[in-house]
Amino acid sequence: MKIRSSTKIAIGFTIIVAGSIYGYEYAMRQAIMSEHFTPVVPGKVNLVGINAGAGFKILVVNEMAQLVQASEKFQGAETSDSGATEGAIKKHIPIREMLEVLKGNEKALGPFIMKVNDRDENDGWPPIRVIWKAEDLTKALHGDKTLEKKLIHDLNINLDGTPLPTLVRTSLENGIIIDKPIPVKVTIEGKQTIKIGRFQEPYKPIMMQTIEKRYADKQVTIDTIRGYYGDEAKNILDHKSKPEDIRNSIETRLSKSNASELAEYPQHILESAQVVINDSLIDKASYRSTDTNNGPVYDITIELTDEGRKRLWQFSEDRIGTQIMLINNGVAIAAPRINHELAQGELTITQLKDKRLVEEVVDLINQHKK
């Protein structure tokens, strides 16, 4: 069968048009993928991605998204919302503090370091906080007689570990809180800088800990406690127990190697997190509800600016199958999985169950734009 000339022209025109459209889309995609965007600072509403294979998982528990350590090592599986070891559940990453640090808030760095190292304040901390800054401790250990005398009093023990003639009960019960600087590399708006977090930890000499264990869960008088103190002091003076080198114990806690160890994991987390979108890159948001057999669920639609669309498209290009967290005021309320390149100007997050959280994030976005 012969093809009429007009048909040939139509077919040819269709092929040319299709090729032009494909060529334009390909060129646009290549341009966006090669574009360099300046990193953004976290806002109140953020879309945050975590590098796949960095050793973290995103879990959704009780309708809330949580970032947890996937293993004891940094390398690991891609982020996933299913399953986690008991160890992983214990290793929650504090998202609010993480974002504050990425904003450049140095005060948030200390609590962040403490939490991710499982060293944050707990019920075991003393009732009265006798805080010693590392700078003063260094002076006390290296010749400042006034500070040395005060430190010996607060610990109720000499720096060589030999006991004092009398017991000060408050020193026994409180010990001291060591407050030390931990330098951490933080990238803010694409520039790496050193931020100093103040890390706090309780310290009591071993002798004091031994005495406390002897009367733990017992009804005792001060005379009984003084008796225990006398027993332990005699053991040391009679060389039945080895005295603790208090000076060395404190210097070990103040060492550069200890600071580097405490900084390693927080720094890794900060390097692995990427704020893809903040509220300045969102035009507006809305939500709609759908009734299901298990009650209503809510879908949030976020309309991005043109730059926001490009940033999200570029981020999603090689992250198919991973998740991204929607974070409102430091709380992750959703963790949708990226199933394809997110090239459109709208992002819809579905199947959310907490209406209050949905309304809060939508209202916050729209009020911000106003």
Which pLDDT score, from 0 to 100, does residue 189 have?
Answer: 85
**297, 219 contact by CB (below 8 A):** no
Q: CA nearest 37: which of 274, 270, 273?
A: 274
The residue among 18 and 336 whose pLDDT is bigger is 336
Name the band, by pLDDT with cuts 50, 70 and 90, for residue 74: very low
pLDDT band at 81 (very low <50, low <70, confident <90, very high): very low
Share of the chain above pLDDT 90, in %: 65
How high is the pLDDT of residue 320?
86
SS3 53: coil
More confident of the two residues 50 and 44: 44
Between 35 and 329, whose confidence is greater?
A: 329
Please check the confidence at residue 57 and state whether its pLDDT lies above 60: yes
Q: What is the pTM of this model?
A: 0.82
What angle, 0 to 180 degrees and rounded to 10, lies between the N-to-C axes of helices 109-116 and 256-272?
Answer: 90
Residue 137 is predicted with a pLDDT of: 98
Determine the average pLDDT of the residues in 349-361: 92
Please indicate whether residue 323 or residue 261 has the higher confidence score (pLDDT).
Answer: 261
| pLDDT given for residue 15 in this prediction | 58
Q: Which residues pair with 194 in a beta bridge?
A: 185
Torsional sign, CA 170, 156, 199, 180: positive
pLDDT confidence tier of residue 78, bands split at 50, 70 and 90:
very low
pLDDT at 171 over 90: yes
Position with higher pLDDT, 229 vs 26: 229
Place of tokens 């406390």: 212
Report how far residue 102's alpha carbon sits from residue 56's, in angstroms, rounded to the nearest whole number.
18
251-258 average pLDDT score: 98
Number of helices and strands in the chain (H, E): 13, 12
What was the pLDDT predicted at 135?
98
pLDDT given at position 65? 75
Q: How far apart are CA 30 and CA 87, in angstroms?
A: 42
Average pLDDT over residues 37-45: 91
Higher pLDDT, 288 or 368: 288
Question: What are the residue boundaries of the structural domains of the chain, listed by start?
Answer: 45-104+272-369, 109-271
**Average confidence score pLDDT of the chain:** 86
Q: Which CATH class is domain 45-104+272-369?
A: alpha beta
Per cent of the chain over pLDDT 70 is 82
Residue 162 has pLDDT above 90, yes or no: yes
Tokens found for residue 366: 């729209």
Q: Which residue has the tokens 């498209």?
A: 313
19: pLDDT confidence band, cut at 50, 70 and 90? low
What is the structure's pLDDT at 27? 60
Min mean pLDDT across 14-18, 37-41, 116-120, 279-283 is at: 14-18
Q: Residue 365's Cα: distance from chain center in Å?
A: 24
Question: Which pLDDT tens digit goes with each residue over 184-236?
Answer: 999 988 889 999 999 999 999 999 999 999 998 889 899 999 999 999 999 99
| Mean pLDDT calculated for residue range 277-292 | 94
Taking 3-state DSSP, the helix, strand and coil percentages for the chain, each rounded to the nearest 5, stand at: 45, 25, 30
DSSP state of 196: E
> If pLDDT is split at 50, 70 and 90, which confidence band does 9 have?
low
Pairwise pLDDT comparison (84 vs 351), residue with the higher score: 351
H-run or E-run covering 282? strand 282-292
Residue of higher predicted confidence among 51 and 270: 270
